[in-house]
Structure 1
Amino acid sequence: MMRTTERWNEGTSLQGFSAHLGYLYADKPFRERLFAARDAGFRAVEHPNPYSVPAADLAAWVGESGLSYAQLALPSGDAARGEKGMAALPGRTDEFRESVHAGIAYARRIGCLAVHAMAGIRPGDVAEAKLMATYVANMREAADAARSAGLTLLIEPIGAATIADYFMSDAQAAVEAIGLIQRDNVRLLFDVFHETNAGKDAAAFIRAHGGLIHHIHIADHPGRHEPGSGRIDFTAVYDALNVAEYRGFIGCEYIPAGSTEEGLAWLASHRQRLGEFRKRS
């Protein structure tokens, strides 16, 4: 019987590291970012808002690079006005529904199998219960549409220290929301930095709820720079993922302290650290 530590073999269950192209290689044109990530050894790429690139073009680039596209966000409203999604916003249901269909169609075209529905910023004049009722109803509909397309629908809790007044601001609240939505293709996008930035223990959350996690984001704290630049114990994080038999990508959503290339020394050392779990099995 295979022991859980053996699941960290990137060639089998764990799918490897994903480069978040909104942060990494940001000085390059979008197409070049994919190939730079591939050449650095990443297994996948991701970007929440790739919609300025025609889906046919991005599909061709993904195919040519040989990478997977790990996850993207559904269209999330007017970024210039600070909008961060619509799923919990009463009066925006039709617009949210349109974003679901547009995002799913784009994801299918580029071969991406997970879409993230952002919840939105709390309006000051709407009761919490009404926001939650709107959120649950919208997410059920979005999950059903995603299931029909063979996709997973993601919830990412983002703390108030990162986005003020974001509706889905707490990881435990996201777990509870999944229970209310009652759709088995709704999973967590769990961000180790956001959880740490909120003053909480990311590894403890993974140990408690790892079975709900579909995708992981990492960055160190403080600073949100390269893993190894701050105080997060990534050995504890990886150990918790290992015990949870996590099979997804580890998304690298960090701000390079210098150029992306100059900061990539951490990647080899973390691959080695993951490999050490297998040696101890």
Structure 2
Amino acid sequence: MLKFAANLSMLFTELPFLQRFAAAAEAGFRAVEFLFPYDYPAEEIKRQLDAHQLQLVLFNTPPGDTAAGEWGVAALPGREAEARRDIDQALAYARALECPSLHVMAGVVTPALNAEQCRETFLANVGYAADRAAELGVNIMLEALSPQVRPNYLFSSQWQTLALCDAVQRPNVYVQLDLFHAQLVDGNLTNLITTLNARIGHVQIASVPDRHEPDRGETDYPWLFNALREVNYRGYIAAEYHPANGTLPGLGWVKPWL
């Protein structure tokens, strides 16, 4: 049976963040994810999770200075100390929130930076994160972001993600397969699922090209759900999309699965 999670940074945004947990549970979800928890004490988020019997399955390391265009700092040379403080902070939250997976954000590689040096910096920081996470039983996720959404991010293809996972050489580093980004960059999604198979640690979905509910657009998600079943995928599938006309009216696609 496939398992679905609600991304609370994109769904239920009609409500303040801490009220979204109750809304997700009332809609039938038993798991959630979000981008960042750092504006709230871990204890406050844990109360919401426990009160509504929800499992937190994923969140990200801090994004850096988003006003300056940053989206993660783990790949930025000269920022290693900051990146590792961010990783330590994120793992402290993961431990307090009993979250099994953490996405380590790489960063935007500007023309002033050396791409290969950025890659090596990222690998070193991911190795650090993986070793620390292993002590807590936490898995590390790496996610490719499409240029259409995040120009000049360190990597955009699922094959680049797989190569990075291989290069880190840690058993708890996995591909975070966002099928929205994957369709924009790689296509051939069934082959991606079949080939990546056991390397997939987390899946996210949205329609292509509009990033709305997954029952619209050019991507056949029922087909892909079947492909995930066939490779015995046991992780979560997170609804990470912008509702077209409010969250609740658009949840018809997931109700049979909840």
What is the identity, as a one-letter code, of the residue corresponding to 1:164?
P
SS class of match (2:45): helix
The match for 1:260 is 247
CA distance in 1, matches of 2:127, 2:219: 35
Tell me, yes or no, if the aligned pair for 2:28 and 2:255 is still in contact at 8 Å. no
Q: Which residue, 32, 47, 62 being the options, matches 1:75?
A: 62
- Could you tell me the TM-score, scaled by structure 1's length? 0.89
- In structure 2, what is the Cα distance between the partners aligned to 1:90 and 1:222? 33
Match of 2:23 in 1: 36
Equivalent residues in 2 for 1:1-281 (5 A)?
8=1, 14=2, 16-198=3-185, 200-269=187-256, 271=257
Count residues in correspondence. 258
CA distance in 2, matches of 1:161, 1:244: 29
Of stretches 175-184 and 107-116 in structure 1, the one that deviates more from structure 2 is: 107-116
1:5 alignment partner in structure 2: none
Paired residue secondary structure (1:264)? helix
Gaps of 5+ in 1: 1-7, 9-13, 273-281
- Amino acid of the residue matched to residue 112 of structure 1? C
SS in 1 for 2:254: helix
TM-aligned CA deviation for residue 208 of structure 1: 0.6
User: Offset at 1:199?
Assistant: 5.1
Amino acid at match of 1:152: N
Q: How many angstroms does 1:123 deviate by?
A: 2.5
Conservation of the 8 A alpha-carbon contact between 1:161 and 1:198: no
Distance in 1, matches of 2:232 and 2:11, equals: 27
Structure 1: distance between partners of 2:88 and 2:209: 37
In structure 2, runs of 5+ residues without a counterpart are none
> Counterparts of 2:83 and 2:186 in 1: how far apart (Å)?
32
1:226-253 deviations in whole A, cap 9, x for unaligned? 0111121112211221121100111000
Contact 1:188 1:212 in 2 (8 A): yes
What SS does structure 2 have at the residue aligned with 1:24?
A: coil
Report if the CA contact (8 A) 2:75-2:154 is conserved: yes
For residue 99 of structure 1, what is the amino acid of its counterpart?
D
Question: Which amino acid counterpart does residue 235 of structure 2 have in structure 1?
Answer: G
Q: 1 CA distance for matches of 2:95 and 2:186?
A: 37
Preserved CA contact (<8 Å) 2:142 2:173 = yes
1:236 & 1:27 partners in 2: Cα distance? 31
* Structure whose CA Rg is larger: 1
Q: Residue by residue, what CA displacement relative to the aligned partner does 1:115-143 show, whole Å, maximum 9, x if unpaired?
A: 11111000312322211211111111111
Runs of 4+ in 1 over 3 A off after TM superposition: none
Alignment deviations for residues 5-29 of structure 1 (CA, whole Å, 9 cap, x no partner): xxx2xxxxx4x21000111001102
- Percent identical pairs in the alignment equals 35
Q: CA RMSD in A?
A: 1.3
TM-score, structure 2 normalization: 0.96
